[in-house]
Structure 1
C-alpha cells in the first residue's frame, strides 16, 4: 500500500517572538484585500479574503491546542465502522454507505493504475452537518471526501471539517509547506438546508494554517505555521476574525 499523507503535515516556525510584527514573516500580500500603502501589514494583524468574507489575523499569547498525533485511519477504521455499522460497511476494497433515502453510495479503492490511484478509509460521521467523512490517499497527495447522509452528494475537502457553533460555516484547513503535494490554506463553506455551499478558498505561500477551532460564530483560533531556515516546524497561536 502506498503511504498516505497525514492530516496535519504541519510545518512551521514564526520568525518573530510573541508580540512582534507578523508582517516580517507573513508578507503574503497576494490575498490581502487592499495592500497597505507602506507595503507592510499592520503590527500583529494581516488581512485576506475568502470569497465575500474577509479575515483579520491577531496574535494570541497562548495556544489552547494539544499536540495531535498523526491520524492513522487504517488502524482506526474497524472501530469507526463498527460504531456506524447500520449505515457503513466495508467489503474488500469497497466502502458502502446506506443513505437516509434508502439508496447506496460506493467508494472503491484503485491500486492498479497510478493515474487513478486511490485508497479510502472511513473516518467517521459528522452529525452537525449530516456528512460521512472519508480519508482519501492518492498517488502523491491526500484529501477528505464528505458524503451527504441524505442524498449521497460528494464533496472533496482539504482537511477535516470544523463546524461553527451555529452550524452556519465550515472551515477545512490543510498545511503542506515542505512537499507541496497538498493544498496549503483553507476552504470556507456555508451550511444551510443540509447543503455545503462553497464560499471560496485561500492558499498561502509564506505560512499555513494548522489546527483550527471556532471560538464563536465569527472567531477562529488557529495555528499560524511557517518554516525556519532549518526547515523546523514551529506554530504560533493566532485568532482569525471573520467579517
Structure 2
C-alpha cells in the first residue's frame, strides 16, 4: 500500500540580514599621491595620518614661541621693522641694525655688513630681516626679501658661513638634525617640499625633495620623526591635514 505523502512543514523564512556598509575613508585619505615621498631611486618614505591633538602637544621652536608671544602681547602690528627691533633687543651685542645695515659679529670672523637696497629694481632690490638666534646649532636665522619672493638663510655665529634654506629650521631634540619645509601650493612661486639637514659643525644637506604638496611648521616627535601640516590643492581649494614622517633612520 503506497505511503501517503506527508505535508511539508511550514517554514517562516528569516528576513535577509542587511550587511553594514563598509566605512568610506575621508576624501583626503584616498589621495594616494599624498602618502609617499621618494627620497632616492629605491628609497620611498611613507607618510601616515596623525591627529591634530598630537601635533598641538608638540612644542614649536623656542624662538618662534618668543616671537609669537611678543606679537600677541599688544595690538597686531604688521610693521616688519618694528617686529625686528623687538627681536634685536633679545639678540645681544653680536647683532645690531644701523639704518639700512644689519651688523653680525661672528666670533672667528670679521663683522658682517648686510646692506638693504630698497631700489625699485627687480634685480637689485634686497632687504635682510633678522629673525632669531639659534644657539643649539650656533646659527643666526635671517629672512631675505627680494623684489618678488625671498628665502631664508642661516649664518654661522663663529665663521660667518651662509647657508640658504627653504624655511625656518625645526631642530631635533638631540640637536643633530634639522628640517626645513615650505608651502606655496597656491601660487607656486617658491618651492614646495622638505629639506633634511645634519648638523656636524656646519649644516650638511642630507636630502631635499620638491613636492606637489606643501610642508608647513614641522615639529619633531622624537629624534627620528616629524609631524607637520601637509597642504595640498584639491577640488579648486587648498586643504590641510596632519601627517607623520620618519626622516632619520
> Normalized against structure 1, the TM-score is what?
0.76
Post-superposition Cα deviations, 1:193-213, rounded to whole Å, max 9, x if no partner, equal x200111210012x1111201
Supply the distance in 1 between the matched residues of 2:77 and 2:193 (Cα, whole angstroms): 19
Which runs of structure 2 are paired with 1:166-181 in the superposition (5 Å)? Answer: 166-181=174-189
Query: In 1, distance between residues paired with 2:116 and 2:182?
Result: 23
Structure 2 segments unaligned to the other structure (5+ residues):
1-24, 61-67
Tell me, yes or no, if the aligned pair for 2:172 and 2:220 is still in contact at 8 Å.
yes
In structure 2, the residue matched to 1:29 is none
Equivalent pairs, count: 206
**What corresponds to 1:40 in structure 2?**
none
Which structure: larger Rg? 2
Of 102, 105, 110, the match for 2:117? 110
* Distance in structure 1 (CA, Å) of the matches to 2:51 and 2:136: 31
More helix by share: 2
Structure-2 residue corresponding to 1:100: 107
Which residue does the alignment assign to 1:204? 211
Matched, 1:122 2:112: no
Bigger shift: residues 50-59 or 64-73: 64-73
Give the 3 Å change call, closer, same or farther, for CA 217–94 of structure 1 in structure 2.
Answer: same
Q: Is the 8 A contact 2:128 2:145 kept in 1?
A: yes
Taking the aligned partners of 2:109 and 2:144, their CA distance within structure 1 comes to 25
Match for residue 21 of structure 1?
30
69-78 or 218-227: which moved more? Answer: 69-78
State the distance in 2 between where 1:91 and 1:131 align. Answer: 21
Alignment of 1:156 onto 2:164: yes
Q: For residues 77 and 214 of structure 2, what CA distance do their matches in structure 1 show? A: 19
Q: 3-state SS of the aligned residue for 2:123?
A: helix
Contact 2:36 2:44 in 1 (8 A): no
Corresponding position of 2:89: 82
Task: Note the C-alpha offset of 1:61.
Answer: 3.3
Q: 2: CA distance between counterparts of 1:111 and 1:54?
A: 44
Q: Tell me the secondary structure at the aligned position of residue 115 of structure 1.
A: coil
After TM superposition, list the pairs within 5 Å mapping 1:208-227 onto structure 2. Answer: 208-227=214-233
Give the structure-2-normalised TM-score: 0.74
The alignment partner of 2:84 has SS state of helix
Aligned to 1:144: 152
1:49 corresponds, among 39, 49, 53, to: 39
Specify whether residues 215 and 156 from structure 1 end up closer, same or farther in structure 2 by C-alpha distance, changes over 3 A only: same
Equivalent residue for 1:238?
Answer: 243
Gaps of 5+ in 1: 1-15, 27-44
Q: Is contact 1:176-1:182 (8 Å) kept?
A: yes
Structure 1 residues 74 and 53: CA distance shift in structure 2, 3 A: farther
CA RMSD of aligned residues (A): 2.8
Q: Does the Cα contact within 8 Å between 1:94 and 1:108 map onto a contact in 2?
A: yes
User: Distance in 1 between the 2:186 and 2:211 partners?
Assistant: 13
Q: Distance in 1 between matches of 2:158 and 2:225?
A: 30
Distance 1:78 1:135, change over 3 A: same
For residues 163-194 of structure 1, the C-alpha deviation after alignment (integer angstroms, 9 at most, x for no partner) is: 111111111111011112211112111101x2
